[in-house]
Structure 1
Amino acid sequence: MEIITGVERRRRWSVEEKLRLVAECDAPGSSVTRVSRQHDISRALLWTWRRQLRRGDLGGGTGQGFLAVTLPSVLSDPALPDGDAGLEIVLPDGLHLRVTARTDLDLVARVLTLLRR
């Protein structure tokens, strides 16, 4: 049991701290529950920050954010020639972007950044 003898104050989180904690939730082997317990913060607060980041309300224009990605278990199609196997990114507005092993990933990042504006 915890007895609070003084006035409890709200903690203030910088944008950088929020981004770090949200990213920590998505690290391999981690979860929102694990991060909330480790940093003694509410799971609901972490979910709120994740939602804000997805909407673009968090991050101060840093260009960081989440895109929903679904990866098939096998990224190759036997009908495609070698080297053309890859994945297709479908954005919420319906735009499709096909990425193969030959695709310049820097170009993909620039295109996605431009599309998010």
Structure 2
Amino acid sequence: MELITGVERRRRWRAEDKLWVLAEAAQPGARTPEVARRHDISRGLLWYWRRQLRQGRLAVAPAPEPVSLPVQVSDPIHPGPVAPAVAVADPRIEIALPDGTLVRVGADVDAAALRRVLSVLRR
């Protein structure tokens, strides 16, 4: 049983979130009622989003052109410039975005996967 107190408001779904739910519903073996229940939406809304997608009314704005940002390399143990020949036991890439989001990945991360993650975070 669900008890609702106060005024219920409509949720605002971003186009990216709608597309994420639609992609989940399009997976082999996925069932529309289960996907709708998992995201707490009606099946009718899911079908409406599908129709919007087919009609080209539901799309994500193109990603902005990549920009170059200044990079600062530091060693937390020995502050100051890092010598290029320093061996690192646990090579990681750390990316701090202007909004405070911090992304840490291993040096072995696939470039395409990192690009996808960063494109989602920029939105």
Higher CA-based Rg: 2
TM-score (norm 1): 0.49
